[in-house]
Amino acid sequence: ANAPQKRYSITLLPGDGIGPEVISVAKDVLKLTGSLEGIEFNFQEMPMGGSALDLVGVPLPDETLAAAKHSDAVLLGAIGGYKWDNNAKHLKPETGLLQIREGLKVFANLRPATVLPQLVEASTLKREVAEGVDVMVVRELTGGIYFGQPRGFRIDENGDEVGYNTEVYAAYEIDRIARVAFETARKRQGRLCSVDKANVLEASMLWRRRVTAIAEEYPDVELSHMYVDNAAMQLVRNPKQFDTIVTNNIFGDILSDEASMITGSIGMLPSASLGSSGPGLFEPIHGSAPDIAGQDKANPLATILSAAMLLKYGLEEEDAARWIENAVLDTLNKGFRTGDIYSTGTKLVGCKEMGEAVLRSVESQV
Ligand code: ATP
Ligand code: MG
């Protein structure tokens, strides 16, 4: 192995349920990949979620947020569980998740939906439609209708009760998410589709105008626009037409879930949340899976692939990221499967054994 040339500090937030099991495996994979690429990681494990509630009474301790802010990237397992489901809002594990996203000022959520050739049968779509799908949804995370003012309930002039929300986007919010999306598309196939409802909504009209303006900074990326109703249809009709999608908070909420269901494998899907500067937050999209926690049954591949996103989008270490991605594919090619992706003729393994298989695949690339 090369002598370490680069050092990064990584905050690990194992969290609850299967979180600690999958984080432990992903940490080993990062450590080994780093050592082969001349990268040294300094890991710091901090409490968050239900386990932090039990320990110190809050879902996101100040020390945890401070450690995260001062590191180069944050890798999170999962948060929550039955035990805390009836807690008051400020004492819910999931509140910690909102707080850390806010604390790290991550406004861009990246969610890939990739149908791997080895798992094409798991897709909800027909083989010929699903084969080769590799979409990245870039969702604006901190603006739009979920946060816009005014909002609330009132009684209208007829005495009827009304609930209302406001879709608000400032140009700077659109510009910064557009830049993340163009940068992301650049690291992929170089095609970006901006999804909006510019035929009806003023916020979308501005969105389309700003994205088109920012495109001038990225002449190497091919930009197209699509209305959200059409995009929802195209995602299930012919998802292969998409490379990178950028869209607002509410459309991204819906489209990223739609895209991930195409793959049919929740235990395989990573995510990244990025800001303008400062550390990104990387986590599997699945939850804490309390039904299988502590039984060595969890699929660690979503977290391992989140670690690959950490390298690619968080540290610009694209070579190291590719090592991990290739190792995951190699492990699947060798037939290793956790229960959630098992099919007859494959080799059923637990979380730890899957991790060991990935480590061997990383090493075999040397
Ligand atoms: P919540 O958001 O309330 O936590 P959820 O729908 O996200 O709920 P998950 O915790 O993701 O729920 O679990 C949904 C189902 O998928 C469970 O049956 C769980 O066991 C399974 N599952 C989730 N993640 C994994 C994984 N990494 N490996 C294996 N099975 C998983
Ligand atoms: Mg869950």
Q: Which pLDDT tens digit goes with each residue over 90-132? A: 999 999 999 999 999 999 999 999 999 999 999 999 999 999 9
Predicted local distance difference test score (pLDDT) of residue 1? 52
Residue identifier of the C-alpha nearest atom 29 of ligand 1: 298
Ligand 2 center–CA 15 separation, angstroms: 12
Q: Residue 253 catalytic?
A: yes
Residue identifier of the C-alpha nearest atom 2 of ligand 1: 287
CA distance 58 to 65: 12
- 8 Å CB contact between 74 and 9: no
Predicted local distance difference test score (pLDDT) of residue 2? 55
Ligand 1 center–CA 287 separation, angstroms: 5
Q: Which of 54, 62, 229, 291 is catalytic?
A: 229
Predicted local distance difference test score (pLDDT) of residue 196? 98
Under the banding of pLDDT at 50, 70 and 90, the label for residue 306 is: very high
Q: Which two tokens stand for residue 165?
A: 């929300």
**Segment 191-205, tens digit of pLDDT:** 999 999 999 999 999
Which atom in ligand 1 lies closest to the alpha carbon of residue 289? 10
pLDDT tops 90 at residue 313: yes
Q: Is 204 in the pocket of ligand 1 (CB under 6 A)?
A: no
Q: Residue 146 catalytic?
A: yes
Q: Which residues contact 135 (CB under 8 A, 6 or more apart)?
A: 112, 113, 114, 235, 239, 242, 243, 244, 245, 259, 262
Whether the bond into 117 is cis, omega within 30 of 0? no
Looking at every residue in the chain, the average pLDDT score rounds to: 96
Residue identifier of the C-alpha nearest atom 8 of ligand 1: 287
Q: Residue 342 catalytic?
A: no
pLDDT tops 90 at residue 5: no
**Segment 34-67, tens digit of pLDDT:** 999 999 999 999 999 999 999 999 999 999 999 9
The residue ranges of DSSP E strands in 125-187, in sequence order, are 134-140, 152-155, 161-164
Which atom in ligand 1 lies closest to the alpha carbon of residue 290? 10
Which atom in ligand 1 lies closest to the alpha carbon of residue 17? 10
- Percentage, residues of the chain above pLDDT 70: 99
**Segment 233-283, tens digit of pLDDT:** 999 999 999 999 999 999 999 999 999 999 988 999 999 999 999 999 999
Measured between alpha carbons, how far is residue 315 from residues 46, 58, 83, 301 in Å?
Answer: 20, 30, 36, 20
Q: Which residues contact 209 (CB under 8 A, 6 or more apart)?
A: none
Q: Which two tokens stand for residue 264?
A: 């049919």
Under the banding of pLDDT at 50, 70 and 90, the label for residue 366 is: confident
Q: Is 337 in the pocket of ligand 1 (CB under 6 A)?
A: no
Ligand 2 center–CA 267 separation, angstroms: 12
**Is the predicted ipTM greater than 0.90, yes or no?**
yes
Predicted local distance difference test score (pLDDT) of residue 4? 62
**Segment 65-94, tens digit of pLDDT:** 999 999 999 999 999 999 999 999 899 999
Give Cα 151 to chain centroid, integer Å: 28
**Segment 318-335, tens digit of pLDDT:** 999 999 999 999 999 999
* 226: DSSP letter: E
